[in-house]
Structure formats: structure tokens, C-alpha cells
Structure 1
Amino acid sequence: MSSEHTSDRDARGRRAALFDVDGTLVDTNYLHTVTWWEAMRQAGHTVGMREIHHAIGMSSDKLLDRLLPRDRDRSQDGRISGAHKALYAEYFSRLPAVDGAAELLRTLAGRGWYVVLASSAPKDELAAMRAAIGADEAIGAALSSDDVEEGKPAPDLVGQALERAGVPARDAVFVGDTVWDVAACGKAGVRCVALLSGGIPPELLTEAGADEIYRDPADLLRRLDDSALGR
């Protein structure tokens, strides 16, 4: 991003609200947990669901590296990821938005925030989640795992979201639900508001460096004026 481009954006006072989607705006983390568990079981791996749940939000390759033995036959990783994708796709038509998700996006867009979705999901999953939210008119841009070389907790997706919004890190706030979201924001120098809607304990989010924590999008919306997105 050139300094001239950044200066032009700053002059207009644009602010960007960057959002994770899985677990943050759409209630999918437990669906991912079960479908990853089944995909790994089919490949002969026994992994506890708690461990899987706490790895949700990482890119698929990092998730498998975290959960499976180092000496595994890595040639099977693609097959496991493919099985998860197929199992999870069965839920596409009935994914539930988290309470307040659409209203929060619309309110922020109405207040002048440029809303960017920055998801670790591939494009087809992101499309299904956008349909579940039903607030496309409020979304300025959307990025998926297909848009970056390295997924969360690497900062690539957050950095690309900043580029797409045309703002420096200081003029953006990221909203996510996992420690991997918080870690990616920390590396990118972006403030992170964490939600509990993904099922991650608040103490883990605080320890990871979350600036603020709310129950879900509806709770953030109720307290918006006192949050990083209201100041």
C-alpha cells in the first residue's frame, strides 16, 4: 500500500470493521468440530472433540498439524480435509446466523464503517455463511482462505482485509471469536474485539490479547457506543 494511497484514505476518515465469520457471525464452530471429528475418525485418528473445538479458526493445514501426530502419513491430509468439507457442506442450506449478526453489520455500515469479512473458510463455505447472515448490502468486501497463502493465526488475512478496505491498522477493528483471530490481529497490529459465540472461554481470549469481550453480536450491538467500534 503506497503512502499516498494511505494518506488519501486517512483524509476521508474511513474506518474499517473487519469480521471473522465462522463462530462470530454464524453459529458453525460445533458443526465444524463434529465434521472434523468424523473426517479424522474415518482416516483412523482418534481426537477429542474439545481439542478439535479449540483448533477451529485455524487454517485446515495448521489444524491438522496441531491435532494429528507428526509422524502421520501426510499424504492423507488432503483426503481428511476433503471429507470434512463434504460432511460440513451438508449443512450449507441451514447454517444459523448468530443472534444480532445482520443487525450489527447494518448498524456499522450505517455509521460509516467499511465492513469486511475476513474468513478462514474457502469461498463456497463463505458464500453459504453470507446467505445465512442475509446482510450483503452492508458488506463492502469479503475475503476467504483462497485469497491468502497462509491462514490464521498468521496475519495474512487481516493484512489483506486492511488492503481491501484501504486503511492502516490503526483505523480498523477486528471482531472474532477464537484465540487464532486474536493472535492474527496482534501480529497485524489491529485491535481485536472477541465474542464468546464460538464457545471459547473468556480467559483464553483475554490471555491471547483480546481488547474487549462480548457475549455475541447482539450484546456488542447493545453496548456498541462504549466499545472500540463506538468510539
Structure 2
Amino acid sequence: MRSTAAALFDVDGTLLDTTYFHTLAWWEALRQYQRTVPASRVHRSVGMGADQLLDHLLGTDRDRDDDPAITGAHDALYARFWPVIQPLPGAPELLRACADRGWQVVLASSASGRELTVLRGALGADDVITAVTTADDVDTTKPAPDLVRAAIDRAGGEAEHVVFVGDTVWDVIAAERAHVPCVAVESGGFAAQELLGAGAAEIHRDTAALLESLDGSLLSRPRAEA
């Protein structure tokens, strides 16, 4: 019988080196529609889906008429980087190591389904990925817990048998709201202290460092198996 334990992984900034591509694409998309936002603020919003990011950057009481156009501009600008997207160090190997230890490997991304198809191709680990969830599957993306809960449902598991891996405070908050421990990596540009302050259970430099210390991590072995 398939394990009920699942290792859920964010994708952008956790498994793939895309954080700053998103930062540049959102910054330019906002600029095209006369919204001036410092790139540093944009960067620290990456990890949210478009539904949350624009509210975070522009406020909830704004005129939303341009939102679809801004999001479309981001998507087009970001797509220019698709040919050069690379896995972060050790990312495919980490997924395979988790699968070898009995975890279901599930991707829980704020990307659209079309975008995630491209990201999975760049990652090159489809042989061990058992399920995925995307922004298309939920009404509200991170830091809401919906994506994490949807990923748990896809895995057929329960929160107490799940670990989430992410790179932003938004990932950590979403996991906490879903009552799932979060293993955090610093590859998205958030400092260890910020991730710990948001509630991360442990911190690693990147996926390569997590892989190296896997035996001492929450991902060492599934907490329960069917």
C-alpha cells in the first residue's frame, strides 16, 4: 500500500533558481502599468500567487481594473527566462532521496498549471513526483493554507504525516496554517532568522545542504506509513 506520508515541496526558489526572474518580471510588469514599486519589495513578495501579491504590493483598496493585464505582462516577461531555468543545487537528488526513504513527493506551487509544466521539465524529476497542486487548483494561494491542504488531499494523507519544504516566509506561514511543519531553505533570499521567526522548524542553506543533512532532518524518515 502506498505510504500516507508526504513530503510537499514548493518549487520556485526552493527547487528551481527562479526567484529573481520573478522579481524582475513583476517589477517590469508593474512599471508598464504605472505602478512604481521598489524591486526589493517585489522580491520579498515572491512566493505569493498573483492574487495575493498584487494586494500585498498595491493595497486592497486600489483600482483593480489593470490586475489581469499586469498579471499577463508578468507571465509574458517571466516566460522569456524559461529556457535558462535551472534546478538549485541538489534539488532533483533531494526529491529522489525522499522517495527512496518512503515519502510521497508532492509539488505544491503557486504557479499556474501551464507554468508548472515548464518547471517540471527543468527540474527533471518526474520519475519520483507522485502529485502536484498549482494556483489553478485553489481560490487563494500562499500564505493562505489552501495549496498545502490541497497537496495533502492529493497525496491521500493527513497533516500529521506531512512535511513541507519552502523558501519564503509565505511558505512557512501557509504550512503553519495547515498545521504542517516547514523545513525552510534560504535559497529564495529570506534570512534564516526571518524564516525561524515565521515558524520554520529547521533551516538549511539550500536543497544541497538539506540533502547532506537529511538524516538529521524532519525528512529523515516518514512519520507514519500505511
Same-fold status (TM-score > 0.5): yes
Matches within 5 A, 1:112-151: 112-151=102-141
Give the helix-richer structure, 1 or 2.
1
Distance 2:115 2:205 in 1: 24
Q: CA deviation at 1:48?
A: 0.7
Does the C-alpha gap of structure 1 residues 164 and 70 become closer, same or farther in structure 2, counting only changes over 3 Å?
A: closer
**TM-score (ref. length: structure 2):** 0.95
Distance 1:107 1:189 in 2: 24
Unaligned runs of 5+ in 2: 222-226
Does the C-alpha gap of structure 1 residues 81 and 13 become closer, same or farther in structure 2, counting only changes over 3 Å?
A: closer
Distance 1:178 1:40 in 2: 21
Q: CA deviation at 1:62?
A: 1.1
Secondary structure at the aligned position of 2:104 is classed as: strand
Q: CA deviation at 1:13?
A: 5.1
What is the letter of the counterpart of residue 31 of structure 1? F
State the partner residue of 1:217.
207
Distance 2:164 2:196 in 1: 15
Does the C-alpha gap of structure 1 residues 13 and 74 become closer, same or farther in structure 2, counting only changes over 3 Å?
A: closer
Is 1:61 the equivalent of 2:51? yes
Spell out structure 1 runs of 4+ moving beyond 2 A. 69-73
State the partner residue of 2:156.
166
**TM-score (ref. length: structure 1):** 0.93
Q: CA deviation at 1:92?
A: 1.4
Percent of aligned pairs sharing the same letter: 55
State the partner residue of 2:224.
none
Contact 2:5 2:157 in 1 (8 A): yes
State the partner residue of 1:31.
21
Name the Cα RMSD after superposition.
1.2
Distance 1:69 1:223 in 2: 41
Unaligned runs of 5+ in 1: 1-8
